[in-house]
Amino acid sequence: MTEPIFAERHPKDTLIRTERLPHIWCPGCGLGEVIGAYGQAVEHSGLPPERHAVVSGIGCTGRAAGYIALDSYHTTHGRAIAFATGLKLANQDLVVTVISGDGDLSTIGGNHLIHAARRNIDINVIMVNNFNYGMTGGQFGATTPHGAITATSKYGNVEYPFKIPELMAAAGASYVARWTSLHVQQMEESIEKMMEHQGFSLVEIISPCPTRFGRKNKYRTGISMMKYYEKNSVKSDGIALELTYADVLKDNSLPVGEFVVDSKPSYLMNKHKVEEAQHL
C-alpha cells in the first residue's frame, strides 16, 4: 500500500495569501478551481509576479483578489473593469486581470463590461457565473435562467438572462471563451491565451453555487451541478452565439469552448498608431 503524502504547503501557496485561509467560500463552490487555474496561468505566463495585477469587484468572486498574493484590488460593486482600465493605462507593463462575478460584471457593471469590450481595451476578464447573487443570499440577476427560483423570484424568474458570449461578441470583445468549473485544464489554457492576447478578452466560467442557487433549483450539491456540466457540456467553437443560453434548468446542451478569437488591433495598439502618426 502506498504511503500517504502529507505536504506542509500546497505547490500554489506562493500565489496564495495563505495567512488569510480559511477562505469564506462554501463547500461545493467552483471558485477554488478558478483561482487555481489563474495561478497556474500566471506561472506559465513566464512573467515575474509583479507584472500581474488582479482587480475584483464585490460579491463572492469579488473576494478573489483578497486571496491572491499579487498586487490586488478589491474595488466597488460593478466597477472592477473601470478600475482595471485605469490601472492598465497607468502601467502598461502590467497584465491586468479582472476576476469577478456575473452579477458584479454583467448586471451592475454591465455598462463598463460592454464599453470595455467595445474599446477592445487591453485587459482580461474572468467572469465566474453562478447564475445568482451568492453573497447577498441568492437573488436573481442578469444571468439567472428564466424561471429559476431565487430569493427574490420565489415563483420563478420572469426575466430573460444575458447570453454572455453573445453579448461580448456583439460588444466587440476580441477573445471570448466559456468553460465550466469542471474544465480545469481548458479554463487554464484560455486564461493563458487571454494573458497573451492583445485586446479585451473574457472567459466565462460556469460555476456551481449549491448553497444559494443550486438547492432551490434541483442541484442540492456542488457535485450534482458538476455532473450536469459533465453530461451536458458540448464543445461548440464557432457556434451561432444566440445559441449560447446556459439554461441549466433544462436538460439542454451547455455550449462551451472558444467563441471569439479576433486579432483586430487593441485600444492601446490603435492609440500608439495614432501617436506615432503624429510623430509624438
Partner 1 sequence: MAISLVSLRDRVKSGNHFITGDHAVAEGAIAAGCNFFAGYPITPATPIAERISWRFPQIGGEYIQMEDEIASAAAIVGASSGGAKAMTATSGPGISLMLENIGLGYMMEVPIVLVNVMRGGPSTGMPTLTSQGDIMQARWGSHGDFNMIAYCPSTVQEMFDFTIKAFNAAETYRTPVMVLADQILGLMTANITIPEPDDIEIRNRVLASGPIEDYNTYNWDELIPPMAIAGQGYAVHMTGLTHDEHGYPDANVDAQAKLMKRLKAKFDTHLDDIVEYDEIMLEDAEIALIAYGSESRSAFAAVKRARAKGIKVGLLRMKTVWPFPEKLIHDLSTRVNSIIVPEVNMGQYVHPVREYADCPVHSLPHYGGEIHHPDVIVQKIEEVMQ
| Chain positions contacting partner 1, by CB under 8 A | 17, 20, 48-51, 53, 55, 65-66, 69-76, 78-79, 82-94, 111-112, 115, 272, 274-275, 278, 280
Report residue 73 CA to chain centroid gap. 16
Q: Which is nearer to partner 1, 35 or 177 (CB)?
A: 35
Distance, in Å, from the CA atom of 202 to the CA atom of 136, rounded to the nearest integer, reads 25
- Asked if residue 114 lies in contact with residue 192, where contact means CB atoms within 8 angstroms, the answer is no
Report in angstroms how near the CB of residue 189 gets to partner 1 at its nearest.
25
Q: Which is nearer to partner 1, 115 or 215 (CB)?
A: 115
Report in angstroms how near the CB of residue 274 gets to partner 1 at its nearest.
8
Q: Which is nearer to partner 1, 2 or 278 (CB)?
A: 278
Q: Which is nearer to partner 1, 84 or 128 (CB)?
A: 84
Residue 98 in 3-state DSSP? strand
Distance, in Å, from the CA atom of 234 to the CA atom of 100, rounded to the nearest integer, reads 24
- DSSP class of 46: -
Report in angstroms how near the CB of residue 40 gets to partner 1 at its nearest.
18
Beta-strand pair 175-180/254-261: antiparallel
Q: Which phi-psi region, left, alpha or beta, contains residue 195 (left: φ > 0; alpha: ψ -120 to 50)? A: alpha
Distance, in Å, from the CA atom of 239 to the CA atom of 156, rounded to the nearest integer, reads 29
Q: Which is nearer to partner 1, 111 or 252 (CB)?
A: 111
Report in angstroms how near the CB of residue 76 gets to partner 1 at its nearest.
5
Report in angstroms how near the CB of residue 183 gets to partner 1 at its nearest.
29
Q: Which is nearer to partner 1, 32 or 66 (CB)?
A: 66
Q: Which is nearer to partner 1, 90 or 158 (CB)?
A: 90
Report in angstroms how near the CB of residue 46 gets to partner 1 at its nearest.
17
Distance, in Å, from the CA atom of 113 to the CA atom of 57, rounded to the nearest integer, reads 12
Closest CA to 212 of 228, 225, 203: 225
Closest CA to 268 of 180, 183, 172, 199: 199
- Asked if residue 168 lies in contact with residue 260, where contact means CB atoms within 8 angstroms, the answer is yes
Report in angstroms how near the CB of residue 219 gets to partner 1 at its nearest.
29
